[in-house]
């Protein structure tokens, strides 16, 4: 008796999650996964820094801008809008003259900031080895002056 070893690759196995199930769960490797948009916001150039600064206390827009060297008003406003829409940042507007707006982390934002803090701490402690690896590969790097407000992060 001859047994065929042919496998039907067109039909997913019963235990293979469907695209819809993967998207519900949050499968970052699936192109259409909504988690990717959140990941983009949290790990953007400014998103990480906003989360780290807000981790310490409530800040006004101008305080955030001063604490995060190099960010334009436009990019900071956009980043705050993204993080607010993702439920990570609360925006509280006070009806006074001049307008007064404060930003703080939501409980979900605190969780995200904690995770980002772990990555930031790892980068800081590993930086000498990272710079050494870059030098050994002949990569150019720019030396940045330390941020005077860095200790507040």
Report if pTM > 0.85. no
Mean pLDDT of the chain: 83
CATH class as words, domain 34-136: mainly alpha
The contacts found for 143-147 with CB under 8 angstroms, 24 or more apart, are: 147/69
H/E element holding 132?
helix 107-136
Per-domain boundaries in the chain: 34-136
- CA nearest neighbour of 93 among 83, 85, 103: 103
* Residue 10 host element (H or E): none
| The pair of three-digit structure tokens given for residue 137, joined into one six-digit string | 């590969």
* Distance in angstroms (rounded) separating the CA atoms of residues 47 and 53: 10
**What pLDDT, on the 0 to 100 scale, is given for residue 36?**
85
C-alpha 38/C-alpha 82 separation (Å) is: 8
Residue matched to tokens 């701490």: 121
Per-residue pLDDT tens digits for 89-114: 999 999 999 889 999 999 999 999 99
């Amino acid at each position: 008796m001859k047994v065929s070893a042919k496998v039907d690759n067109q039909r997913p196995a019963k235990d293979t999650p469907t695209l819809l199930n993967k998207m519900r769960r949050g499968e970052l490797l699936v192109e259409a996964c909504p988690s990717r948009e959140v990941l983009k916001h949290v790990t953007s150039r400014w998103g990480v820094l906003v989360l780290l600064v807000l981790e310490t206390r409530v800040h006004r827009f101008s305080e955030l801008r001063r604490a995060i060297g190099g960010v334009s008003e436009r990019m900071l406003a956009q980043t705050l809008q993204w993080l607010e829409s993702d439920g990570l940042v609360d925006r509280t507007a006070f009806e006074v003259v001049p307008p007064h707006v404060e930003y703080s982390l939501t409980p979900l934002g605190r969780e995200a900031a904690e995770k980002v803090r772990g990555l930031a701490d790892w980068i800081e402690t590993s930086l000498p080895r990272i710079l050494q690896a870059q030098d050994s590969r002949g990569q150019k790097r720019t030396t940045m002056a330390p941020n005077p407000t860095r200790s507040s992060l």
